[in-house]
Amino acid sequence: GESVGLHLPTLSVQEGDNSIINCAYSNSASDYFIWYKQESGKGPQFIIDIRSNMDKRQGQRVTVLLNKTVKHLSLQIAATQPGDSAVYFCAETTMNRDDKIIFGKGTRLHILP
Amino acid sequence: DTGVSQNPRHKITKRGQNVTFRCDPISEHNRLYWYRQTLGQGPEFLTYFQNEAQLEKSRLLSDRFSAERPKGSFSTLEIQRTEQGDSAMYLCASSLLGGGTDTQYFGPGTRLTVL
């Protein structure tokens, strides 16, 4: 079936370094992609999104890259901080249709002191 | 705080009992979604509403599950005759159709434990 997957279940990064979290998606019809951050005991928190007509979008300390040719999505976090420790999910959907989000399994980002 | 609230935050029940959860979306949002999340997994879509109309239900939503959004504002999710396999985090999200993006904002979830 269609799914969104992540390459690594856990990523450990030194505080202050940049983090890169990767994601592969399989549904060619998906045209809207979102990264969510989920801290323990909380619901997913929107970080950044990107539409399929773009290949890069920047936010505050975060950048999302979209490569539609290989169906790959990545989240870059600059100058990783202890507060960035969480599970990160990439998710895909099709805008203006059913809009249900398909989530991947998540990558746990662990910040080393 | 995203503006989406869910109650209760935790629910412990015995197998066979009925439970009901409530979600209050962001006030101007016309779409409301329910997801279920088990440990170590991403959320899985259950159902969604546009205003008061329930437009889609996942195969995950067995006959024991029912969701309502009677006035197009808050929503309830009821599970009848709970089973241990129903233990999970139940997440609600809302979005604004026609608002320019499909960003869904999630509530904190209701964690259900079925003994």
Average pLDDT, chain A: 88
Select the more confidently predicted residue: A3 or A56: A56
8 A C-beta contact, residue A63 and residue A57: yes
Average pLDDT, chain B: 92
Q: Which residues pair with A14 in a beta bridge?
A: A112
pLDDT digits (tens, 9 = 90+) for A72-109: 999 999 999 999 999 999 999 887 666 678 898 799 99
Query: Do you find a cis peptide bond into B8, omega within 30 degrees of 0?
Result: yes
> What pLDDT is recorded for position A8?
55
User: What is the mean predicted confidence (pLDDT) over A43-47?
Assistant: 93
Contacts of A10 (CB under 8 A, 6+ apart): A107, A108, A110
C-alpha dihedral over B60, B5, A3, A110, to 10 degrees?
Answer: -130
Query: Per-residue pLDDT for B78 more than 90?
Result: yes
Q: Are B24 and B4 in contact (CB under 8 A)?
A: yes
pLDDT at A97: 61
d(CA B102, nearest CA chain A) in Å:
6
Closest approach of B89 to chain A, Cα-based (Å) = 9
Tell me: the pLDDT tens digits for B24-71? 999 989 999 999 999 888 999 999 999 999 988 888 888 999 999 998
Of residues B41, B102, B107, nearest to A32 (C-beta): B102
Q: Which residues of A touch B102 (CB under 8 A)?
A: 32, 93, 95-96, 99
What CA–CA distances, in Å, run from A20 to A50, A81, A112?
A: 16, 13, 15
* Minimum distance, in Å, between the CA of residue A18 and any CA atom of chain B: 24
Residue in chain A nearest B42 by alpha carbon: A105
Structure tokens at B62: 């067995």
Measured between CA atoms, the residue of chain B closest to residue A100 is: B45
Model pLDDT, residue B100: 63
pLDDT one-digit tens code per residue, A24-39:
987 888 899 999 999 9
pLDDT attached to residue B61: 85
Chain A neighbors of B67, CB-CB under 8 A:
none
